[in-house]
Amino acid sequence: MNDILAMLAELKPEFNFEESSDFVMDGLLDSFDIISLTSMLEEKYNITVDGLDIVPENFCSVEAIAGLVKKSGGNI
């Protein structure tokens, strides 16, 4: 989970993701950020995220992102 927070901080250092309950609804991540984060996750965890899984619901929290990584075959 800390790795995911570190990626989010690298992507958007101006935001405190730990204070948000929904990264997308709170405006911390937009569609371009989600694509960038997906690439980071694929590289870090050596996974391939299915295009159908690239939806806001899978990027709204650290837990949701971790679930996406696990669903894609990664170990967190």
pTM for the whole structure: 0.95
Residue matched to tokens 């929904």: 22
Domain boundaries, the chain: 2-12+22-71
Residue-wise pLDDT tens digits, 40-57:
999 999 999 999 999 999
Residue-wise pLDDT tens digits, 7-31:
999 999 999 999 999 999 999 999 9
Do residues 4 and 12 make contact, with C-beta atoms less than 8 angstroms apart? no
Chain-centre distance for alpha carbon 41: 7
Report the alpha-carbon distance of residue 4 to residue 61 in Å, rounded: 10
